[in-house]
Structures are given as structure tokens and as C-alpha cells.
Amino acid sequence: MRDLDSGNCFTLKEVEISKANSRRRLLKVAAISALAFGCSSDQKNIYKDNKNTYWNNLAIPSQKDRTVIITGGNGYPMNEISGLGYHDALALAYAGANVIIASRNLKQGDEAVLRIKKVVPNAKIRFETLDLADLRSIRNFCHKMTNTDQKLDALINNAGVMGRTERETSVDGFERVFATNTLGHFVLTTELLPLLKRGHNPKVIWVSSLRAANAKLNFDDLQLERNYDYAAAYDQSKLANLLLAKEFNRRSRNYDWGVSSISAHPGVARTNLIPHGPGLDSREGRRFRAMPFLFQPAAFGALSTLHAATARDALADEYYGPDGILELRGMPTRVEIPNNAQNSHNARKLWEVLETMRQVADT
């Protein structure tokens, strides 16, 4: 089994561990695999020559004529670390989709497009500038999309940041993590709703995290002004995204939008979230350095999102994640939505609060 871009190899045994196996066995197999099965390959031939890649096992149906926006899809592999969205974009481009990578870093975005076109020469893919922590940037992006694209078939709300040790604010004055992960995606999704309603079997995919299950949403201090903690900031933003997925579905049914809202999480994946967030000297950073075998490659973590976005059996109002023990790693499957994300009252209240926050860009 191959990581399509980096050329790393992984065994099927690693990702097909059953839930009946113990945590110890999972860690042992993962550690052995990480140490023993590294290899290189000609990435240009992976799609054509290797019929046993996990992309084929995932059975992504043709995405021809489907337009997909992926936020934060410019994290191409560097030093064995990459972003989830990059692998979403790579797989969807190969499946024939018209892919739009939307991120704030123009240089990295252009490079991501070039790299994907090297693997998929006929890829229909482009980069557009979008800063989710800037409400005006979101409005400008959406205005451009509505003027250049006739429809949108899938929106993958993938981009995410983890807070640094000191609290930071966005250009609009909101706590940086909440502004990027939650408020930004909320405004983006609702502004693009007219395009989504014109799409074919349109979907919105909200990327959450295992950490959402232990999070709390404090409506009296959503911006964590009184008691900031970088981990709590990230966790509550991912819980908020699950609640938004639920509320979006309720409104889609009630108002006949015809757009499915689905959530997904990657398990534990090796991305830049921690190095670019609290750093390698934080408590998360120390685990990141000391236990690398816990973190599956980002290409594996992306599978749950890809399943939610493309599989014919992926259902609205459901949650998808890895099928391995504790949902840390494995192949995508439907997983249980945490109890704290099933509170309809909180979901509606959060939507209303975000509607008020978005008005900052209008003043």
C-alpha cells in the first residue's frame, strides 16, 4: 500500500486491524510497520501500475463534472508531514473532479497544484486565495466563486489550526482558532449556499476531530478571553463543527435546500497541526516527537473525508472516521457521533451566535 505522493509504503495489515484487537497490538503493529516498510517508488506510475492502492480499495466513483472546493488543501508533503486537504485534492483530481484549493498562502497553493499535476497530468485543479480568519477575504472569495462558477457539488471544510501557547486574535478581533476553524467555515458555507443548491447531489463535509468528544462549548466565553487554553480552543472548535453539521442538516430539510451535511474525522494523523500550532515543546508536541507510531500518514487520515465526500453510501447527518481500535487509524467507516455533539439546542444557539459574529464584516 502506497502513499501516493511521498512514495512511502505501508502494509494492508496496518490498516485492517480489527476492533477486537487490543490497543497494545495496534501500537506494536503500527510501530513495526513504520520502522520496517519504508521504501521509494516512481510516483508517476502509482495510479497506472499499482491496482492495489488504497484509493482503488476506497472505490471512489468518478467525480467527472463535479466541482469541489477544499479549504486548506495546500499542505503538500514535506519532511514526512503533509496536510489532509492536499490528499483530498490529489484523490479527487485523479477521480476527475474540478478541484479548487482555497487557502491563504499563494506560494504553497501554486506549488500544491503543480505537484498534483505532476501525478495527474490532466487534472482540473486551480488555486484561489482564501483566509478563513478574515471575514472580508471570505466574502471576496465567495463573490468571485459566484461570478465564475455556475455550481458547487461539494465543499470540504478541511482547513484547521491549533492555537499557540498565547492567545491570538484574527483581523476581525476573534480568537484565532475559533475564527479559522468554525466562524470562517460557517460564513464560507452559508455564502456559498446558492452555488451548492445548484449542484448535483451537493454535500458539505465538516472535518472534526476525536478530541471533540471531550470538549465543552462555553457560550459565555466562546472567545476564551477569560480562560485561554490552546487545547481547549481547538477542541471546542471541532465540537462546534459537529454541531454546525447537525444544524445545517436540520435547516436543509426544513427549507428544502437539498444539500447534505456530513462530518468526518481523520483519527490521529501526522500533519503540521501541532508543529505550526503550540509547537514541539508543548504537551502535544512532546507526544508528537516521542510516539511517532501513533500518527498515521496524512494520506490515510484523509480517507474518512474522501469517503464522506464521494461514497454513494455516505449519508447526511452521519459521522465518518477510521475503523481501527479507538478510531485512531484504519479504513473509513461510519462512527458514533459524540453525545455532546447531539444537543440540538446548542446547535441552534451556535448558529444564531455565528450569524451575529459574521456581521462584523459588514460594519
* Residue among 88, 104, 115, 97 nearest 137 (CA): 104
**Neighbouring residues of 164: CB distance < 8 A, sequence distance ≥ 6:** 230, 277, 278, 279
Beta strands at 67-71 and 154-157: parallel, antiparallel or unpaired: parallel
Helix boundaries (H) for 37-160: 46-49, 54-58, 84-94, 106-119, 135-148
In what side-by-side order are the strands of the sheet with 332-335?
124-129, 98-103, 67-71, 154-157, 203-207, 260-264, 319-322, 332-335
Which are the contacts of 355, defined by CB distance < 8 A and separation ≥ 6?
A: none
Separation between Cα atoms, residue 315 and residue 320, nearest integer Å: 10
Cβ pair 335, 319 in contact under 8 A: yes
The residue annotated as part of the active site, out of 76, 234, 319, 320, is: 234
H-assigned helices in 184-229? 184-191, 193-197
Task: Give the pairing type, strands 124-129 and 98-103.
Answer: parallel
Task: Measure CA 244 to chain center.
Answer: 15
Q: At residue 262, what are phi and psi to the nearest 5 degrees?
A: -130, 145
- 234 catalytic? Reply is yes
User: Which active-site residues does the annotation give?
Assistant: 234
